[in-house]
Structure 1
Amino acid sequence: MSRVDDIRSAALELFTEQGYRATTMADIGAAVGIRAPSLYKHVDSKQALLAQIMTTTMRNLLDLHRAAISTTHDPAERLRRATEAHVRYHARHRAEAFVGNREIRSLEEPHKGDLLKQRATYEAGFRQLVGAGIAARRFDVTSARLASYAILDLGMGVAVWFRDDGELTEDAVVWEYGELALRIVGAHTPASAPTRPGGP
């Protein structure tokens, strides 16, 4: 890793353990063996480090989401693959998820506004997947918004409890959460899709 990567990793660990506000540049410098004043040769500020960690997380999630849904046109399979990508990322990047959820309040403008726009885009992606399944009569759920929020919460919760050496493997959790997402939206195969009032 580069020196900047080392600094970012140290900042992430400290933000996770003791919080953004309690962490100083001196703490970060000590973690990588650099005096605090010398850190500014590599990074602009503690705020810039937080913004970089959080925006990189959202950019990665957006990229993974787009890649997951690009491989099929089937509504149920698209939702499954998007959910699996969401869950897998949170299982592998628990610290980033923790900091991203807890420290949004610590972001300053324009970083906070930019991050909230990225989050809105990511959330809308899941809402659109659910809406497409409803329109195709493949999903039986009342609110695409509420269903998408529930699915997103599933993945984010994984970051809290999942452990690499735990009872369940990452692949097992990812598969099961994909199944749960389909149950949340009441997914049906084309042959068993329900007929809605006013439909053929």
Structure 2
Amino acid sequence: MSGERLKEAALPLFAEQGYEGTALSEIAKAVGIKTPSIYAHFASKEALFLEIYRDVIKHELTVLGTIKDQVYPTVDEALRAFFYQVTDFNANPAMKRFFQRAIFFPPQSLATQMREEMTTYEAMTSEMLGSLLLQKMDETRKKKWVHVFYCLLDGLSLEHEIYDAKEFETRRETAWEALASLI
């Protein structure tokens, strides 16, 4: 039994049921061990949750970095690829759902620490976006564009849960068109 296997089992449970709704016994059962064995790998449920949260952030930054580093014919196309990647809620759905839940409904005992780490994640994402945007606009306009980007991302993350796939794609394209008009 490894800590990685525990995290793989815990991720979809936390994604679907949230932190409070997931018992360590469910995670243990999913990997075929007794609950106390989890403590050989993680000091607590909080520690397990936080490590998964950090893994998800690291994964997202890696994927976004790959997009940023690709060569696109135009800056606009690079920004579009970036936007569509972060709003692709069907790629790694358990990971995306976990991330949404963790951001919007963090465990009370971890809320401050998770917000601090989210601020760091957002700063790193903004830096990636900023390096592209500076080719097109000044610092003030760049900051405003990034603010709108995050508002649209947050809205689309909710709309993905509400609307069917066709309606969501229509809304996603409309959001991109509005954002692109600000470039």
TM-score (norm 1): 0.66
CA contact (8 A) 2:76 2:180 kept: no
Matches within 5 A, 1:126-137: 126=129, 129-130=132-133, 132-135=135-138
**Distance in 2 of aligned mates of 1:177 and 1:167:** 10
Measure, in 2, the Cα distance between the counterparts of 1:12 and 1:99.
Answer: 11
Provide the rounded CA distance (Å) in 2 between the counterparts of 1:111 and 1:183.
Answer: 30
Which structure shows the higher helix fraction?
Answer: 2
- Superposed displacement of residue 147, structure 1: 2.2
**Inter-CA distance 154–131: structure 2 relative to 1 (3 Å threshold):** farther
Residue identity in the other structure for 2:30:
A
| 1:36 Cα deviation after fit | 1.0
Are 1:23 and 2:22 counterparts?
A: yes
Alpha-carbon spacing, 1:115–1:150, altered in 2? closer, same or farther (3 Å): closer
Q: Deviations over 1:95-124 (max 9, x none)?
A: 323333234344267565334312332244
Query: Which structure: larger Rg?
Result: 1
Higher mean C-alpha deviation, range 52-61 or range 23-32:
23-32
**1:112-163 CA distance string (max 9 Å, x none):** 533431233224433554454334xxxx99932432223422553365257x
Q: State how many pairs are aligned.
A: 176
1:1-200 matched pairs, under 5 angstroms: 3-70=2-69, 71-72=71-72, 74-88=74-88, 90-92=89-91, 93=93, 94-106=96-108, 107=110, 113-126=116-129, 129-130=132-133, 132-135=135-138, 143-153=144-154, 155-157=156-158, 159-161=160-162, 167-168=165-166, 173=169, 177=172, 180-186=175-181
Change (3 A) 1:132 1:96: farther
Task: State the identity as a percent.
Answer: 19
Q: In 1, are the aligned partners of 2:134 and 2:142 still within 8 Å (CA)?
A: no
Query: Which residue does 1:192 correspond to in 2?
Result: none
TM (norm. structure 2) is 0.71
Deviations 1:147-187 (A, max 9, x none): 2223422553365257xxx654xxx94x9846742432316
Task: Tell which deviates more after alignment, 94-103 or 63-72.
Answer: 94-103
The answer on whether the counterparts of 2:61 and 2:125 sit within 8 Å (CA) in structure 1 is: yes
Matched-pair contact (CA < 8 Å) for 1:81–1:178? no
Closer, same or farther: CA 76–118 of 1 in aligned 2, 3 Å: same
Whether the 8 Å CA contact 1:80–1:182 is kept in 2: the answer is no
After superposition, the Cα gap between the structure-2 partners of 1:3 and 1:141, relative to the gap in structure 1 and judged at 3 Å, is closer
Structure 2 unaligned residues grouped into runs of 5+: none
Contact 1:75-1:129 at 8 Å conserved across structures: yes
Unmatched 5+ stretches in structure 1: 189-200
